[in-house]
Amino acid sequence: MKKIFYAIAFVAVVFTSCQKQPIVPLYPAVASKQSYNITLASSDYALLPSTAYPSKTLSFNNATDAQNYIPTILNAKYPSKVAADNSTAVVTYTQSALSFKLTDSAYNDVAYTLTPADYLLLPGNKYTDFSIAQVIKWLPYKYPSPVVNQLALLTFTPYPATLTPPYSFLYLNGAWSEIYTITPAQYAVYGLGKYNQFTSTNDATLPAMLGALLKTDLTVQDTVKAGDIEYISFNYYGSDKGTYQRVIPLEYDGSNYVAPKTSVAAPLNFIKKSGQWQYVQPLPVISYTLTSADIALIAKSTVAPSGLLTNLASYGDFSGWTTAQLDAAMILALTADFQTPQTNTNYSVIYLAYTGGADVPTSLLFQWSGTAWVAQQ
């Protein structure tokens, strides 16, 4: 009898061990709406196709490329079984250092001296001299189909006569603009006045040499701000390829002019629709500063304890208010001041917060849902 019992028990054990065990799913059975705030790491850029340049540079050249490539990263990182439609992502990325190359830099191709007939190309002009502003208006008539990064080194009769051509003009971001041109006197500073040009022997120190010249020019230095990019046009001789008019962009870092570096760009917003991540244009912002009438309205309300309301009425600032109380106060003002608010718009309400012994202008964001004000904090 024991043998029969053991046999039955053995069969039961074997049967149990042969049964499939439940597999714990890698992702939730039902995806839910998610909200992400991430900074792209090198592993994220690796999610792009190997043929895409950011997979190698680990950065994007510009915001447009970031808008186009990041959805591919998000689709791989947060697929539909993880993030449902209407999930959102705020993504911070690295922007490449400014990369710049002229369409054509051969001196004989870009240098041009205006003829008397050229001046008459500008509608309404009867004179054979130009100001810088007139040259910029004239360029589209002389070059009706410019290409990106096209350079024009122009010699013309200047007005006023104190101007000293030639001047450099660059077609960049869809428009012509004057850029900085190294003068004969500046070449002479480095002992290059005989030919008024840099050579390949200066390659290693060119950015520093050009930056030093900019720092001594008050017409630039008086207005430049940290982060500004200056395009510098200069004559260059390469022993193997002849004479060129080159352009180098330099960034002012607050103290010196340096080659542009990679930077952390402002974050971009994305949303998942129909199973795919896509870029979201920033919402327009309407800024509104609380008025004395708003302060009086809030002070007479019940959105906060009486002590806070009395203090607000006396000093016009918010001290010791909680986030919920502040939201309620701002919504009270928005309701009174915006009778027909717009949806898909951020309303930035500016108020005075009493912090550290001083009034500090502070803002809170709100959106109108169509039926109610919703705090975005």
pLDDT averaged over every residue in the chain: 89
Peptide bond connecting 160 to the previous residue in cis, omega within 30 degrees of 0: yes
Question: Cβ distance 195 to 237 under 8 Å?
Answer: yes
CA distances, 23 to each of 29, 83, 196 (Å): 12, 21, 76
Q: What is the pTM of this model?
A: 0.52
* pLDDT for res 281: 86
Secondary structure (3-state) at 24 = coil
* pLDDT for res 3: 45
* pLDDT for res 84: 94
The tokens describing 274, both together, are 């129909």
Per-residue pLDDT tens for 127-149? 999 999 999 999 999 999 999 89
* pLDDT for res 163: 87
Per-residue pLDDT tens for 198-216? 998 998 899 999 999 999 9
pLDDT band at 332 (very low <50, low <70, confident <90, very high): very high
Question: Cβ distance 90 to 269 under 8 Å?
Answer: yes
| Angle, vertex CA 124, rays to CA 122 and CA 126, nearest 5 | 85
The tokens describing 297, both together, are 């309205």
Q: Where is mean pLDDT largest: 74-83, 219-228, 278-287? A: 74-83
Give the whole-angstrom CA distance, residue 54 versus residue 93: 11
Burial of 129 (0-12, 13-18, 19+ CB in 10 A): middle
Q: Residue 32 is which amino acid?
A: S
Residue 13 has pLDDT above 50, yes or no: no
DSSP state of 163: -
CA distances, 219 to each of 106, 152, 214 (Å): 28, 22, 9
pLDDT band at 29 (very low <50, low <70, confident <90, very high): low
φ, ψ at 72 (rounded to 5°): -65, -40
Indicate if the alpha-carbon torsion angle 151, 152, 158, 161 is positive or negative.
Answer: positive
Residue 246 has pLDDT above 60, yes or no: yes
| Strand-pair partners of 113 | 155
Give the whole-angstrom CA distance, residue 297 versus residue 309: 10
Mean pLDDT for 329-355 is: 94
* pLDDT for res 243: 92
* pLDDT for res 11: 44
Question: Cβ distance 149 to 103 under 8 Å?
Answer: yes
* pLDDT for res 23: 54
Per-residue pLDDT tens for 49-100? 999 999 998 999 888 899 999 999 999 999 999 999 999 999 999 988 776 7
Give the whole-angstrom CA distance, residue 64 versus residue 266: 13
Give the whole-angstrom CA distance, residue 210 versus residue 187: 10
Residue 18 has pLDDT above 80, yes or no: no
